Amino acid sequence: MEVINSRLISWASILDDQTREQALTTATLPIIYPHLALMPDAHLGLGATVGSVIPTLHAVIPAAVGVDIGCGMIAVRTQYAVKDLPTDRKRLRQDIEHAVPLSAGHYNRRFTATAVPRLAELRRMAANARFDPGQYAANWELQLGSLGSGNHFIEVCADEADTVWLFLHSGSRGVGNKLAQRHIAEARSAVRSRHIVLPHPDLAYLEEGTPEFDRYIRELRWAQHFALLNREEMMDRVIQQFESWTGGRVREAERINCHHNFTAQEQHYGKTVWVSRKGAIRAQAGDPGLIPGSMGTASYVVVGLGNRESLNSSPHGAGREYSRNAAKKTFTLAELKAAMKGIEFRPSEAFIDEIPAAYKPIDQVMRDSADLVRIRHKLRQLVNVKGD
């Protein structure tokens, strides 16, 4: 841990100058209390740094939550061991690719039996929040159970005892993105109308007691829940395909589902604050958590230690060292295939920007997190599914 100044504390041993400056800029905002916590996976983000924990008094910064509201991880520990699995892992990958819509702009064509009650729950929640999700995305219902692209993934993994886990990463999809974009724009308009001078437009915030703030929180909570149910829906489909592949039922020994792009009201240092975790998970003492590495590297199942200075938080992944454009110019498909040796995946130039070398070493991130979480399991990938 490094105390950069009284308003910024960092756990990142790998931190480039741009990211450091961005975090320092955010920490100057008068609404920050008590300080901004920079996680080990911190890297440059839109307005606010990805991998940061941003506590604010009586206000929320929509861009500090991010456009993929509620993005997070879900994992299921099965009763299977690696030795129990069929050898044809390609079949499982392809079956999952057919069962879950992948890539931006790809959605379901019909409602599955498992999606129906979840959609009913989301409709009730939207009605209680007094808004229509259709104003943001007419097909939002068909988005439930879809993966997206970028760093989102579905994986079959094994831990140190060769126990098989099912693991995936996704958020609130297009409907959450459009909802976020609207409220980021509203925040910019609100600060302009109050003649508030900011160091960056994307640090615009909505203040408690205003209609704009209340609407954002209502709709944000809906989007966060959509993201959580989206992961549940996809996991149920992955389990179905896994069962078909193995010819047996999955007995869930454990299921963990956690956000890493969200805001919540919490008590810290004697005050009630809004804690926005942009690329960070909550890690209160005893909280179960999931910290994925990059494509082809280890992921971790953890438990929170309740570190006060971190505002009970921990990293959400490896964190980028190369931007997507830089990675595409630097690495090759041959290098990606070499990095993924022994893992069943779909080789594609579309995934070059996700090559492990574009990210910080996950094991270093976990060493930096020693006072934030305790490692329960280290996972290695057997099968990887991604969207273009």
Instruction: Using the predicted structure, report yes or no on whether residue 105 has a pLDDT greater than 90.
Output: no
Rounded to the nearest 10°, the torsion over CA 280, 170, 67, 24 is 20
For residues 378 and 160, the answer to whether their CB atoms sit within 8 Å is yes
Residues 6+ apart with CB under 8 A from 75: 165, 166, 167, 168, 254, 255, 256, 290, 301
pLDDT band at residue 116 using 50, 70 and 90 as cut-offs: very high
Q: What is the pLDDT of residue 60?
A: 98
CB atoms within 10 A of CB 139: 11
The catalytic site residues sit at 316
pLDDT tens-place string over residues 157-204: 999 999 999 999 999 999 999 999 999 999 999 999 999 999 999 999
pLDDT tens-place string over residues 204-260: 999 999 999 999 999 999 999 999 999 999 999 999 999 999 999 999 999 999 999
Q: At what angle do helices 89-99 and 211-246 cross, to 10 degrees?
A: 140
Q: Cα separation of 5 and 372, whole Å?
A: 20
Instruction: Using the predicted structure, report yes or no on whether residue 104 has a pLDDT greater than 90.
Output: no
For residues 173 and 148, the answer to whether their CB atoms sit within 8 Å is yes
Q: Which residue reads 């992955």 in tokens?
A: 238
Q: What is the mean pLDDT of the chain?
A: 96
Instruction: Using the predicted structure, report yes or no on whether residue 46 has a pLDDT greater than 90.
Output: no
For residues 298 and 167, the answer to whether their CB atoms sit within 8 Å is no
Q: Cα separation of 279 and 68, whole Å?
A: 10
Q: Which H helix or E strand runs over 184?
A: helix 173-193
Instruction: Using the predicted structure, report yes or no on whether residue 311 has a pLDDT greater than 90.
Output: yes
Q: Cα separation of 242 and 42, whole Å?
A: 34
What average pLDDT does the segment 310-330 reach?
96
Q: Cα separation of 183 and 199, whole Å?
A: 19
pLDDT band at residue 310 using 50, 70 and 90 as cut-offs: very high
Instruction: Using the predicted structure, report yes or no on whether residue 47 has a pLDDT greater than 90.
Output: no
pLDDT tens-place string over residues 60-71: 999 999 999 999
Smallest CA-to-CA distance from 262 within 246, 274, 250 is with 274
Q: Cα–chain-centroid distance for residue 148?
A: 12
pLDDT band at residue 103 using 50, 70 and 90 as cut-offs: confident
Instruction: Using the predicted structure, report yes or no on whether residue 372 has a pLDDT greater than 90.
Output: yes
**How are beta strands 72-81 and 163-170 bridged, if at all?**
antiparallel
Q: Which residue reads 């819509």 in tokens?
A: 101
Residues 6+ apart with CB under 8 A from 194: none
Q: Which H helix or E strand runs over 335?
A: helix 333-339
What average pLDDT does the segment 279-297 reach?
95
For residues 184 and 202, the answer to whether their CB atoms sit within 8 Å is yes
Q: Which domains does the chain have, with CATH numbers?
A: 2-385 (3.90.1860.10)
Instruction: Using the predicted structure, report yes or no on whether residue 353 has a pLDDT greater than 90.
Output: yes
Q: Cα separation of 143 and 140, whole Å?
A: 5
Residues 6+ apart with CB under 8 A from 313: 37, 39, 53, 275, 277, 280, 281, 282, 283, 307, 372
Q: What is the pLDDT of residue 388?
A: 85
Side-chain half-sphere of 185: how many Cα atoms within 13 Å? 6
Smallest CA-to-CA distance from 293 within 215, 385, 360 is with 360
Q: Which H helix or E strand runs over 318?
A: none
Instruction: Using the predicted structure, report yes or no on whether residue 273 has a pLDDT greater than 90.
Output: yes
pLDDT tens-place string over residues 50-59: 999 999 999 9
Q: What is the pLDDT of residue 298?
A: 94
